[in-house]
Amino acid sequence: MIDTDLKRWIRAELFHQVPVSISVIDRDYRIVEANENLEDTFGAWQGRYCYEVYKNRTEPCDTCQAARTFEDGQVRVTRESGVDRDGEPISYMMHLAPLVEKDGGIRYVIEMSTDISEVAFLQDRLREETERYRLLFEEVPCFITIQDRDFKLLETNRLFREHFGEPQGRYCYEVYKHRDEQCYPCPVAGTFEDGQVRRSEEVVTTKQGAKINVVCYTAPVRDSAGNITAVMEMSTDITQIRQLQSQLTSIGLLVSSLSHGVKGLLMGLDGGIYAVDSGLELGDTARVRSGWDMVKRNVGKIRSLVLDILYYAKDREPDWAIMNACELVAELRELMEARAARNGVAFTCECPGDIGALEADPKAIRSVLVNILENALDACRVDKQKTGHAVALRVFAEDRHLVFEVSDNGIGMDRETREKLFTLFFSSKGTGGTGLGLFLSNKIVLKHGGAISVESEPGSGARFTVRIPRTKTLAPSTLTPELDVEEIAGLL
């Protein structure tokens, strides 16, 4: 067994050799004993108070942990900041314990302090860096999400939340595209699979229903072992760029179409001029008259073509006129019946004789309805699940509007297709369409102060509803309509 003197020696040595600062204080907070490490760290202690030695204060601390230990006898651990013997700031972890006497009283408290300045410095740096990266994550001008393997949104930044709402417990395809299932192909799934950064271009829908073109990058988020635990998706709004590119593309396509059309008109003019010249030489009045009619006809076509180009190329007001709705319906019936019959589709029209007139641009409204009717016929043509198909055009009054309703029992559309339907260059026909028609139709209706809506489900057909105010209405400003290349080419 260890004798008493050896025990005292061991305790004395331990008191001075342990790599912590130890002090014993009385109820007045005066240090009555301390080890060498405390003196090396905080300076002379003899006859001084703990708050003088540790913190260079002239009075007790506002919140004194030693006082609490004197009061309740509990062991405490607290993080403190003080000043070392050289006047430099120091952080330390302090353990306080009561020295209980035989009668249960507490005359002294022992304080053991471990210098954690370096650890505190690193923690502060880590906190600062974390805040800096959090600020960057929150304020970067793009949409950022962190997704798990189930495509559930774990974190999102401020811009994302402002545009798409709070995403707690929701999936990316729900929030971005209002889908009920995963997108294919999915760039996030690809990054989870091979860890590669991917780029894609998408059309997403905000919580207000607005369509946004985004370029999307996905990158893996790895743990310390290199395993992919999540994927970060960063999407930048490029809607304005795509609008500008689409305008330039439309202009290019228009120029290509015009080059052929103008060539034909010039050949017609040449033919008319030749007929006039030869008729004059031969004294053939009938030949001159025929040639001159040909010239006038082609000049009229050129004039009409130029006016149409101006209509589509500029954000101009509609050419307002009073038009009869039933006369328009009769014209549409004559135009569409033959095509419907060729595709085995029953086509019906309904317009009450007393429906009255409306103030609108007749040519523009006709173009809108032709486009919607053609889409309805196409939806029936490609539907192989039913034996009989029908398209119906109905006109009725609703408040101060005339409503043109086109319904079909064709192939139908899912929610994502419905939301993209009026987006530039999006076509529900795949490669069979240009994606210009419905986009331009929507612009025309908006210019009239009206609105287009669509109801549809896959396999259940569709119903397009076009509401046009009966009288001229000032519409809110819209983006410049794109050039409708197909329609202009048709005029040639």
Q: Mutual orientation of helices 325-342 and 362-381 as an angle, nearest 10°?
A: 30
Q: Can you name the residues that pair with 406 across neighbouring β-strands?
A: 393, 464
Residues 6 or more apart in contact with residue 212 via CB below 8 angstroms: 163, 203, 204, 205, 206, 237, 239
Q: What are the residue ranges spanned by the domains of the chain?
A: 4-115, 140-237, 242-313, 321-491
Q: How many CB atoms lie within 10 A of CB 123?
A: 12
- pLDDT recorded at residue 15: 81
Query: Quick one: residue 332, left, alpha or beta (phi over 0 = left, psi -120 to 50 = alpha)?
Result: alpha
Q: What are phi and psi of 17, to 5 degrees?
A: -95, -20
The answer to whether the beta carbons of residues 469 and 447 sit under 8 Å apart is no
Per residue of the chain (492 residues), give pLDDT as tens. 446 665 566 566 778 788 899 999 999 999 999 999 999 999 999 989 999 999 999 999 988 999 999 999 999 999 999 999 999 999 999 999 999 988 889 999 999 999 998 888 898 899 899 888 888 889 999 999 999 999 999 999 999 999 999 887 899 999 998 888 888 889 999 999 999 999 999 999 998 888 899 999 999 999 999 999 999 999 999 988 887 777 666 666 666 656 666 777 788 889 889 989 998 999 899 998 998 988 887 887 777 566 555 555 556 678 899 999 999 999 999 989 988 998 899 999 999 988 988 999 998 899 899 889 989 999 999 999 998 999 999 999 998 999 999 999 999 999 888 888 887 556 565 444 445 578 778 888 998 999 999 999 999 999 999 999 999 875 544 434 444 434 433 433
Could you check whether 140-237 and 321-491 share the same CATH topology?
no
What's 374's DSSP letter?
H
Q: Which fold has domain 4-115?
A: Beta-Lactamase (3.30.450)
Q: State how far the Cα of 185 lies from the Cα of 169, in Å rounded to an integer.
A: 23
- pLDDT recorded at residue 232: 96
Chain centroid, CA 182 distance in Å: 17
Q: Domain 321-491: give its CATH architecture.
A: 2-Layer Sandwich (3.30)
* H runs (alpha helix) in 283-357: 285-313, 325-342
Burial class (CB in 10 A: 0-12, 13-18, 19+), 179: middle
Q: State how far the Cα of 382 lies from the Cα of 376, in Å rounded to an integer.
A: 10
Q: State how far the Cα of 252 lies from the Cα of 482, in Å rounded to an integer.
A: 12
Vertex 379 angle, CA 375 and 382, to 5°: 130
If you write DSSP's letter for every residue of 12-57 in order, what string do you get? HHHHHHSSSEEEEE-TT-BEEEE-HHHHHHH---TT-BHHHHHH--
What CATH number has the domain spanning 140-237? 3.30.450.20
- pLDDT recorded at residue 316: 63
- The whole-chain average pLDDT of the chain stands at 85
- pLDDT recorded at residue 163: 93
Q: Can you name the residues that pair with 407 across neighbouring β-strands?
A: 392, 463
β-strands 321-324, 357-360 pairing: antiparallel
- pLDDT recorded at residue 483: 40
β-strands 451-456, 462-469 pairing: antiparallel
- pLDDT recorded at residue 240: 87
